[in-house]
Amino acid sequence: MTVYDDYEMTVNKAFHGMNIQWAQREHPNELFELVKALFKDALAFINKDHPWTTARRGNLEVKEMIQYGLTWTIEDFVLFFQMMRKGQLAKHYDKPDSEWVNKCLVAYANLKEDYREDFQKKVKWKAENQQQEDMYQLQKMLGDDIPFMTDAETIEWAKQHRPRTMAEFLGGKSHLSATERAWLSQRDKERRDAKGA
């Protein structure tokens, strides 16, 4: 039984985990001991001769791994060691060494970068869809009053022709524009119809 067997971790779950920089700033010793324990566990699982036979060499390798993974999360390290021990990142050919660890670090960083790019595309797509939904709601609210314009022009037009807030009304502007009168008239009519129904 290892620390990995308790749960299923994926790159996308690890991406949203606990920030390693926060952990290094607030709990540097605990972070170091955690990564060291994960590294020892991975080496014990592989069960081959390796160059980390002294505590000094092992500690140095762990520090280098933490420095390499400054944009990672704690969960990234857990998943990294899980994949490393299974040989999913790079093959050790029965001789694990620092070069093999570096290849594994680079391979995992590439996996993480692929997920980051996909995540950013999804965020951008969601923002664009939200903008289209906002435009649809604006055009639905304004109906045929809105002329054919680009999105930026439409947004600017809507800002200029929107109904005033109470703060704006009380701020000294004492007259209503034609658009505001029409909008208020329409809103009053809808309220009267709703009360009568």
Structure confidence at residue 172 (pLDDT): 61
User: C-alpha distances in angstroms, 81 versus 49, 109, 113, 129, 162?
Assistant: 18, 13, 17, 38, 56
Task: Please tell me which residue, 99 or 10, carries the higher pLDDT value.
Answer: 99
Look at residues 30, 37, 28 and name the one whose alpha carbon lies nearest to residue 4. 37
The range of the structural domain enclosing residue 100 comes to 11-121
Structure confidence at residue 14 (pLDDT): 73
Whether residues 105 and 29 share a domain: the answer is yes
Phi and psi based region of residue 14 (left: phi greater than 0; alpha: psi -120 to 50; beta: remaining): alpha
Whether residues 79 and 174 share a domain: the answer is no
Task: Read off the amino acid at residue 56.
Answer: R
In a domain, 129, yes or no: no
Whether residues 18 and 115 share a domain: the answer is yes
* Of the residues 61, 94, 121, the one at which a domain ends: 121
* Domain count for the chain: 2
CB-neighbour burial class of residue 160 (10 A; exposed 0-12, middle 13-18, buried 19+): exposed
Whether residues 23 and 76 share a domain: the answer is yes
Give the contacts of 183 (CB within 8 A, at least 6 positions apart): 163
Q: Kindly tell me if the per-residue pLDDT of 67 is higher than 80.
A: yes
Whether residues 179 and 104 share a domain: the answer is no
Structure confidence at residue 4 (pLDDT): 46
The first and second tokens of residue 159, run together, are 């800002």
In a domain, 44, yes or no: yes
Q: Do residues 19 and 73 make contact, with C-beta atoms less than 8 angstroms apart?
A: yes
Mean pLDDT for the chain overall: 78
* Euclidean distance between CA atoms 106 and 114, whole angstroms: 12
